[in-house]
Structure formats: C-alpha cells, structure tokens
Amino acid sequence: MSSGHDAVKAIFWDNDGVLVDTEQLYFQVTQQVLATAGVRLTDEEYVELFLVQGRGAWHLAEERGIPAETIDRLRDRRNAIYGEALARAPLVLSGVRSVLDELHGKYVMGIVTTCSREHFEVIHQSSGLLGYFDFVLLPGDYPRKKPHPDPYLCAVERSGVERTACVAVEDSERGLASATAAGLRCLVVPTSLTRGRAFAGAYRILDAVTDVPSALEPFSFRRGPEHAEPRPILRGIKATRSNDK
C-alpha cells in the first residue's frame, strides 16, 4: 500500500471501454461520419484527440472550412447512428459481471463517465449492471469533463469516503489524468485502442478487468455496518441532447 493512502473503501468505474465495449464502435461511427465530409480520422488521431486530450475531432472539419451548422448536423448524425448501433450490439465486456458480483457490497461503487446521458441510457437499458452501483455521475453532474479532476472530485464527495481510500478504474490516459489529478490511485485496463500506451502515473496497469479484485487485495477493505452509506443519488437517467465530442 502506498504511503498516504488508506485501505480501499470505494471504487469508481469508467463506463466506455471498462464496463462496456463501446469505444471502438464510437471511433468507427465518428470516423465514418467525418469521412462523408472529406475528413480523415486515423486510429492514432482518435486516441490522441478523444482518449488523451478529450478534445474530440470536429475541429478537423472546421479547419477544412466546413460551416458550423454543417458540423452540428454531422454531430447529430453521428450521435443518432451511434445510438442505433448501441441498441443492437451486446455491450457488457467479458468478465465484468463476475467481477461486479465479487465486489458488490464490499465497497462503495460508482460509475464516473463522460458518456452522454442519452447514450448512457441506451447502453444500460438492458445491461443489468446499474444495480451493482451506489451512484452514477454523468456530464452535468460536475463542472468539467475528464481529463479535469472534477468528475472524480465529485465522486469522492458523493461517496462519503475519504479520497485516500478511493480507487478509479480507467482505460484511457484522459481518464487516468482525471483520476490522478483528483488525488486517486488508478487501475488501468487498456483496450485494443489504448494498449501499449505509457499510462504514466497509473497505480497498476492490468491485463483484464478480471484482475481488478486481485489488484485490490493487498489493501482490501470489507464494507461493514460502521461504514457510512453513500449519499442516495442514483436516480433515473434522463435522456437529453448533449453537445458532446
């Protein structure tokens, strides 16, 4: 256990790429829609712009002189196609359900994501995962998105657990930067898009999500009646239009 950190009492999970297999799909749909406007988006550019900087790629269209109203239509089209694809695809990543079964009730657990509310609702309408979590934080629940620390600072506050007893599980450098800027230890489970990245500052880099329980074991904590319950903020997810990346 690292100096200055307590036994883990809370786990904060990223959504896309950690719990559900959506990152590659989001890339492909974004790439295809941009291509209709003559804008090429490579794998490397996607990782840098979306998964490191959190900037998105619409500025690439702006640089080609594409009007703002056309970009808005492209974004809406991407979101609609992505939403339709989410509704058709099996999304829960292999091993996730067994891991959550093992950890449920032992830790305070929350989802901390920059996924839009609309897409989050589609993803989890049949995932069966939300019952494992004490709370969910989405855009609008915190001032600034990842890589800023705000999402995880909000998670710490909502959990009722000291920051030094919280761990984040992420798949990207952007998420890692957000967690570490908030002062949290971060376990990284790379995806096919992010595998091989440096992940400087990660507490540990894991091969699979099924390695999370063993990574927690050296500083495990068993949630008991003396531990305060998290604030009851898991509420119905309402679909709203989001000016996302």
CA angle 157, 132, 151 (to 5 degrees): 30
Q: Same structural domain for residues 47 and 158?
A: no
What pLDDT score was predicted for residue 134?
98
What pLDDT score was predicted for residue 245?
67
- Cα–Cα distance measured from residue 219 to residue 163, given in angstroms and rounded to the nearest whole number: 15
Burial class (CB within 10 angstroms; exposed 0-12, middle 13-18, buried 19+) of 112? buried
What pLDDT score was predicted for residue 219?
64
Q: Which residue has the tokens 């995880």?
A: 152
In a domain, 245, yes or no: no
Task: Produce one character per residue of 120-140: b if its CB has 16 or more CB atoms within 10 Å, e if not.
Answer: bbbbbeebebeebbbbbbbbe
Q: Same structural domain for residues 41 and 137?
A: no
Its domain, for residue 61, covers 23-88
Residues near 35 by Cβ (< 8 Å), separated by ≥ 6? Answer: 41
Report the number of distinct structural domains present in the chain: 2
Q: Same structural domain for residues 99 and 51?
A: no
What pLDDT score was predicted for residue 209?
97
Q: Same structural domain for residues 57 and 106?
A: no
What pLDDT score was predicted for residue 187?
98
- Report residue 141 as tokens: 């629940």
189 closest CA partner among 175, 177, 120: 175
What pLDDT score was predicted for residue 73?
96
Last residue of a domain, one of 66, 88, 110: 88
190 closest CA partner among 214, 216, 172: 172
CATH code, domain carrying 168 = 3.40.50.1000
- Cα–Cα distance measured from residue 216 to residue 212, given in angstroms and rounded to the nearest whole number: 6
In a domain, 68, yes or no: yes
Q: What are phi and psi of 8, to 5 degrees?
A: -70, 130
pLDDT (tens digit, 0 to 9) for every residue of the chain, 245 residues total? 344 567 999 999 999 999 999 988 989 999 999 999 999 999 999 888 888 888 899 999 999 999 999 999 999 999 999 999 998 877 999 999 999 999 999 999 999 999 999 999 999 999 999 999 999 999 999 999 999 999 999 999 999 999 999 999 999 999 999 999 999 999 999 998 899 898 999 999 999 999 999 999 876 555 544 444 444 444 444 433 344 66
